[in-house]
Amino acid sequence: MSMYDVDALEFLTEERVRDLVAEHPTPFYVSSRSALKQKAAAFLAAFEDVPYGFTASYAMKAYPHPEIIRLFDEMGIYTDASSEYEAEEAIAAGVDPGRILLTSQQLPKDLQKTMASGIEFTATSLHQLEEYGKAFPGSDVSIRLNTGLGSGYVHRLTTGGVEVGFGIWYHKGDTRSQQIHDIIEKHKLRVKRVHLHIGTGTDPAVWGKLMEAGLDAARDFDTATHLNLGGGFKVAYMRGDAQADIGAIGEIASRMLRAFYAETGRKLHFEVEPGRWLVAEACAIVSTIIDRTDTGDEGDDFLKLDCGMGEFIRTAMYGANHPLVVVPREKQERGTSKYVVIGHCCESSDVFTVVPGKPDEIQPRLLTQADIGDYMVVEKTGAYCASMRTKGYNSFPEVAEIIID
């Protein structure tokens, strides 16, 4: 079976799609509370045997909808914020600031105010560490390190290694490594948390290497009580894609933390920052097919949707593919045809069906035969879709975001 055989709806039914469209003009995002809860419960269960304390923090940049943030917070999941503005949104959603870890590429405009709220801060550069040390000498701090490990679906989704600027480059004997210790000593800081980030392509083998690098770094900071390994957990978007085995990852983490304790006598509290894995499969875009066209006998048949790269930019940015499901406007049996699916923006890159990882190359998809006025459901759009929309291109209005049970 090809990875591009006709896909099925994830958490919706055809009848539910028709009912929702009767209530809400397309396009719109729709998320399922029950699916979100199931994903969160499964994730927490995979790490229940971590020996010396465990915290999962929702990487809210994946989808910062306030209801989703509250749902995860109520389930005991903390919040990972990538800017002071995300942190403010989480607080507005009801999250206690003490349950927010801020790891940002940009220092807050008012660091004193941010820290006074109770948010925990991670320094992601030597400059940030220096500024934090000046402002809060003698305090605890977290540091994000780049040990050279990186893994992602494509290069643009890799957040560790020599070609990215996230974190402080850290190798023993390197001048930057010594600078960290110099700043810590100068300002009498205590490193509470060692934070590493790798990207979105993590699998158990890579996680073992990341754990090893994190524990090795923790050895250099004897005040560290927390080890935080950031980075998304791989989601199988298309049939044939690999999904992160979080059970295996949890077992690796537990085993290595116990070994570290046996060697050093130090019990490290373990933290991870899932975003994509929690929300990707619990959300979809519902759109309407507004037009059809073709490019002749040697060309392709095209379906045009009333949404596009303004609402959904992952394909144009990364060459990412998502399942596409045609829902006939009225219930009926139909055959299948191959189509190229495009958006409504005046851009040749506004395409939903491309060669994986190659946004410049279109690849027709086998779909249920479609007519103008039918509906198209773009599945698994919970992560980095609504949160990354361009908001205003071609002056299309923002789309609604609906949460259902």
The residue extents of the domains of the chain are 14-30+282-404, 33-279
Q: Tell me, what's the pLDDT at 163?
A: 53
Mean pLDDT of 332-357: 95
Q: Tell me, what's the pLDDT at 174?
A: 74
Neighbours of 59 (CB within 10 A): 27
- Classified as helix, coil or strand, 186 is helix
Q: Tell me, what's the pLDDT at 161?
A: 43
Rounded Cα gap, residues 207 and 46, in angstroms:
14
152-198 pLDDT, tens per residue?
Answer: 444 334 444 445 567 898 877 677 788 999 999 999 999 999 999 87
Tokens of 125: 């550069």
275-299 pLDDT, tens per residue?
Answer: 999 999 999 999 999 999 999 999 9
Q: Tell me, what's the pLDDT at 339?
A: 98
Mean pLDDT of 191-210: 80
Mean pLDDT of 80-92: 97
Q: Tell me, what's the pLDDT at 1?
A: 34
CATH for 14-30+282-404? 2.40.37.10
Rounded Cα gap, residues 309 and 316, in angstroms:
7
Residue position matching structure tokens 């609402």: 311
Q: Tell me, what's the pLDDT at 15?
A: 98
Cβ(319)–Cβ(364) under 8 Å?
Answer: no
Q: Over pLDDT 70: what percentage of the chain? A: 93
Question: Which residues are CB-neighbours of 206 under 8 A, at least 6 positions away?
Answer: 149, 151, 198
DSSP H/E element including 128: helix 126-135
Q: Tell me, what's the pLDDT at 179?
A: 93
* Predicted confidence band of residue 200 (pLDDT cuts 50, 70, 90): low
Give the least confident one: 1-15, 23-37, 292-306. Answer: 1-15
Average pLDDT, the chain: 92
Q: Tell me, what's the pLDDT at 159?
A: 41
Report the b/e string of 268-299 with b at 16+ CB within 10 A.
bbbbbbbbbbbbbbbbbbbbbbeeeeeeeeee
219-231 pLDDT, tens per residue?
Answer: 999 999 999 998 7
94-131 pLDDT, tens per residue?
Answer: 999 999 999 999 999 999 999 999 999 999 999 999 99
CATH for 33-279? 3.20.20.10
CA 154 to chain centre: 14
Strands (E), 147-282: 168-169, 190-197, 226-230, 269-272
Whether 90 has a pLDDT exceeding 80, the answer reads yes
User: How far apart, in Å, are the Cα atoms of 199 and each of 1, 380, 384?
Assistant: 30, 19, 14
Give the least confident one: 146-160, 263-277, 350-364. Answer: 146-160
291-335 pLDDT, tens per residue?
Answer: 999 999 999 999 999 999 999 999 999 999 999 999 999 999 999
Mean pLDDT of 82-95: 98
Give the least confident one: 13-22, 194-203, 215-224, 230-239. Answer: 194-203
Q: What is the pTM of this model?
A: 0.92
Mean pLDDT of 378-403: 93
Whether 74 has a pLDDT exceeding 50, the answer reads yes
